[in-house]
Amino acid sequence: MMTILGNLLPLVVLFLVLAIAAFIGYAVYTIATDIADKTSKKMEQKNVSFGKEGMKIGVKEIKTENYVDQTQSLLVKAWNYSSWPAYKSRLGWNKEIEATPKSRTPFMRSSNSGKAKA
């Protein structure tokens, strides 16, 4: 009788250890799949999905009219906030009204007479 119990005891311990290991493995597996599902749902809300082919990123749909309005608004703001103080257009844009030039008297000479002083 003792020999039968002595032979069965290691077998019972082995089954007990395997049962504990299986329970721990199952718990880890269920926790990991739960975390993966929750993460996948959160990523799908942000237009990112995971599949067999890999990760796919979706783009939020923007109507053409809204896109054009936003782009035009940004360009107008950039134009209004910019300034080019030294810019002179060849086509006549951005010209300030120039004062009429002063008329010179016929015999006006500059202070330099062109002679070099030694």
Q: What is the pLDDT of residue 80?
A: 79
pLDDT tens digits for range 46-96: 778 777 788 777 777 778 888 888 888 888 888 877 766 666 666 766 555
Count the residues in the chain.
Answer: 118
Q: Which amino acid is at 65?
A: E
Q: Which two tokens stand for residue 43?
A: 């990523």
pLDDT in tens, 84-100: 666 666 676 655 555 55
Q: Tell me the per-residue pLDDT of 2-42, one tens digit each, with 9 for 90 and over.
A: 778 788 888 999 999 999 999 999 999 999 999 989 988 88
> With left for phi above 0 and alpha for psi between -120 and 50, is residue 102 left, alpha or beta?
beta
Q: What's the pLDDT at 111?
A: 56
Dihedral sign of CA atoms 22, 23, 24, 28 in order: positive
Q: How many CB atoms lie within 10 A of CB 49?
A: 13
- The DSSP output letter for 103 is P
